[in-house]
Structure 1
Amino acid sequence: MDITKDLPQNITNLIEQHKYTGETDFDYLVGEGGYIPQSEDLLTDLIVAIAQGKNILLKGPTGSGKTKLAETLSSLFNQPLFSVNCSVDLDVESFVGFKTIDYQDGKQIIDYVPGPLVQAMKNGHFLYIDEINMAKPETLPVINGVLDYRRQITNPLTNEVIKAKEGFNVIAAINEGYIGTTRLNEALKNRFIVIDVSYLQGEQLKNLIKNNTNLNDEKLINQYVQLSHDLIAATQQGKVSEDAASIRALLDACDLSEMIPPKRAIRRAIVNKLEDDREQDVVQNLADMLFE
């Protein structure tokens, strides 16, 4: 599905002007695409921001497709996407790389293995930082200079000053309010263009299911679209957590439903992931009302 076919000509021209056409050893890191944006404006704004070299912060609930959206931008611009998955254990080496012992001409040497940040900067590719607010606050300042007008970093392991090659962009994702996350420093957040990513619904979700799962039964697809709508409403009412409305989990259930009964598929892909018995009952009751 061509998600750019309805975009204005000047926006599609931007993609062509900034699409990566050089040779690279990292073709395998180019995303496959597949994200269907909830609005034309969202896709237009992202394309403009990327073309202007802006840093992008994707903000939305878990399972809303932020990673898939980053991969789709990678596909649109034919740009390899280096990734950092943040956690409380994330350290500077996770960004810049590490030193290791190697052998050269029979002698032991200390070799440096560049990390995803260094690789993306030197090659002019994209860097995706997932769940950036999971990282320890003391780790993130290493990228401050990368995110502002300087577009450079002094590698703490080698003392090399690295200036980003043209084409380098940072795309980060954030889930606010989750256990283990911290509030993103305002100075850091101000270095990003913030894009809200919400759950897909209606026809957009229907197209996503058709294009990204094995399910082709029209009736079942419509029932899953309704289930997603009901789960989102339940999260807004405080009956279940956002995990229950994850589009990722819904797509898993759709795939399973090609071979097993839908209610069982929903139990495996959605219900059993929830730790609260009350939430499990809410989801199962919604499924029972929709599916035979």
Structure 2
Amino acid sequence: MAKTQQFTLVNVSGKMSTIAPLNTEVVVKLVATEHDPKALRAFLASDDSNNIGFIGDSKKAENSDVKGVLYDLMNKHDKLDGIRMMVVGFENIVVMEGSTNTVEVAILEVLPGELTIEEPVLEGETVFELKVKGSNIANPKKSAVVQALLDNSPAEVTLKFDESTSEVLAIYDGGRAGVVDSESPGYDEALKVLAHMKEMPASTKMPLQSTYIARMKVDEETIVFVKTGKRPLTLSELKEEKSSFIPMERLDRIEKYLEARGLSKKQIMKVMQTYKEYPAEIQARIPEPTVQFADSFGGVKKTVVYLNKGKHLRLIGEKGTGKNLLTTTLAWIYQRPLYELSMNAQTDKLDLLGSNTIESTVVEGKEVTKIGFRKEALVEALEVGGFLNLDEVNTADPAVLVLLHSIVDDRGSIEVPSYGRVQADDNFGIILTMNVDYVGTTQLNEATRDRFTPILFPNNESIANLLKARVPSAKAEDIKLADRIYKDMMKLVQNNNLDMDCITIRGFIDALEVIEDLGIEEAMIDSVANRIEDKEYRLTVTQLIDKVVG
């Protein structure tokens, strides 16, 4: 049955063993012609412009439409633009009916996974793809598995550890369907899992000659138990362990906040597994925000997933989109001290690292002078394991930012002049925030950009929810008017009648905080319109506020 999955590659102008030697990888594509709308051509995988032949209609002298079989499979799996195949042998066949002339052709097999719709791998799962072999005599159910695959109805087998032979058997419909090849990638680890679990279900993939692939998925808890002999902690148990230095009420709030933003329990556990107890003076830097980031685009989930993988972040968006609030929220989520530095064109390396100091003391009546070192935010955060927020980073000299490169790449350390080498704590992370296309900003160099995962913040079409979260005491009607003023200002920006620099979310927040005492019009003019430097733009916004409020 498995022979049907071998396909003939023909090139009448030469020997295929010369054109495509054994084990050459090729790509087969649909190249339809007027006479043959199902014509399949082969190209070298290393050079897809090099057409090396076509898929023939027959293998040997058999009257089987294997080209049609391959076309149908490719079409079903949306692979007509190309599938990968391997040259597994050569044969001499008669190409023209009634002729005795033969030509050497290549025999191709589809590479594993090319024509299989695989089940998704869930978070934390490990997948083993194991080659199953063995004769049909010793494994009478193997042919049924292969036939099911050929019929595009993949069968599920059970992989079972045989204690008498220490082999892994594939079982289907109550009988043997093959033996797992011990040369399969990951076999030793899979064997340990099966020796412990005794048996596991596995899906199957497209057969190759006399073999097929069994795909076994194992959850994270099983892998950990097999490796360590210890059962992983549950989230509740982990919280109980961490509550020795973080209040349980805070842990519950963090869990609830993350669950509401679509984070799985496994991701939440990865966050809490990083919790550690900091000295009292460092704990004071761990934020306890009264308002957390009001997520509207999945930003919390994205950033947590990347931070759990040890990535450093670059938050990009217009003013007032919540970049710094998200940074503060992340420090709260991870219970890490937050160090912040507002960057500008004058920021230099000493502002990040620190500088020498001269200290004088009196010893036995004599003044003794010694040189010390005053650490700045970067070195502090590196040593204690905190987050460093470099705000408006694209206003700084790009040359200054180069010193971050060795910290955020595989080296994870930096040589600090007059202080020594500083190795980054496991909890250390850098979060860059930046506005785009504002006066005074510059492009980061490519090497810096490449080291930080970008998170793009969408422009706020409405700021009503943001204002409600930031100023919970504000009246609904005041928030509605503020949102309308914001939307009208954005329309002026879009029509080039106002500069984006005139938009300030902070101004709206400040206005709402004093409306009760000053009234909405005066508060909006003070905090929104009068923040604008350009007189013409300031007058435009003042008139807009008067029109909306009046």
TM-score by length of 1: 0.90
Corresponding residue number in structure 2 for 1:195: 455
Q: CA RMSD in A?
A: 2.1
Q: Do the aligned partners of 1:57 and 1:194 also contact (CA within 8 Å) in 2?
A: yes
SS of residue matched to 2:516 = coil
Q: Which residue number in structure 2 is paired with residue 165 of structure 1?
A: 425
Q: Which amino acid aligns with 2:442?
A: T
**CA apart distance, 1:173:** 0.9
* Partner residue in 2 for 1:264: 522
Between the aligned partners of 1:180 and 1:186, the Cα distance in structure 2 is 19
Q: How does 1:123-202 map to 2 (within 5 A)?
A: 123-158=384-419, 160-202=420-462
CA distance in 2, matches of 1:12, 1:238: 45
Which residue matches 2:494? 236
Aligned partner of 1:216 among 469, 474, 488: 474
Could you give the per-residue CA deviations for residues 51-79 of structure 1, whole angstroms, max 9, x where no partner exists?
11111001112232222221111111111
Inter-CA distance 37–148: structure 2 relative to 1 (3 Å threshold): farther
Supply the distance in 1 between the matched residues of 2:331 and 2:339 (Cα, whole angstroms): 10
8 Å CA contact retained: 1:65, 1:248: no
Partner of 1:59: 316
Measure how far apart 1:35 and its partner are. Answer: 4.1
Does the alignment pair 1:30 with 2:290? no
Matched with 1:283 is 541
Aligned match of 2:263: 8
Q: Within 1, Cα distance between the matches of 2:317 and 2:395?
A: 14
> Within 2, Cα distance between the matches of 1:229 and 1:38?
19
Higher helix share: 1
1:18-63 alpha-carbon deviations (Å, 9 max, x no partner): 3x33123222222343243442521100111111111100111223
Distance across 2 between alignment mates of 1:62 and 1:157:
38
Contact 1:215 1:221 survives alignment (8 Å): no
- The Cα of 1:98 is off from its aligned counterpart by 1.0
Residues 54 and 193 of structure 1 are in contact (CA less than 8 Å); yes or no, is this contact kept in structure 2?
Answer: yes
Separation of aligned partners in 2, 1:243 and 1:5: 36
- Relative to total residues, which structure has the larger strand share, 1 or 2? 2
What is the aligned partner in structure 1 of residue 156 from structure 2? none
1:99 and 1:49 map into 2 onto residues whose CA distance is: 36
Cα separation, 2, equivalents of 1:83 and 1:188? 19
Residue 227 of structure 1: SS of its match in structure 2?
helix
Identical amino acids, percent of aligned pairs: 25
* 1: CA distance, partners of 2:448 / 2:510: 35
Unaligned runs of 5+ in 1: none
Residues 356, 373 of structure 2: 8 Å contact kept: yes
The two structures have a TM-score, normalised by structure 2, of 0.50
Distance 1:242 1:3 in 2: 32
Against the structure 1 CA distance between its residues 112 and 76, is the aligned structure 2 distance closer, same or farther, given a 3 Å change threshold? same
Higher relative contact order (CA 8 A, sep 6+): 1
Mapped partners of 1:253, 1:116: distance in 2? 32
Distance 1:242 1:274, change over 3 A: same
Cα distance in structure 2, aligned partners of 1:127 and 1:82: 5
Per-residue deviation, 1:195: 0.8
Change in CA separation of 1:40 and 1:9 when aligned onto 2, cut-off 3 Å: farther
Matched, 1:21 2:279: no
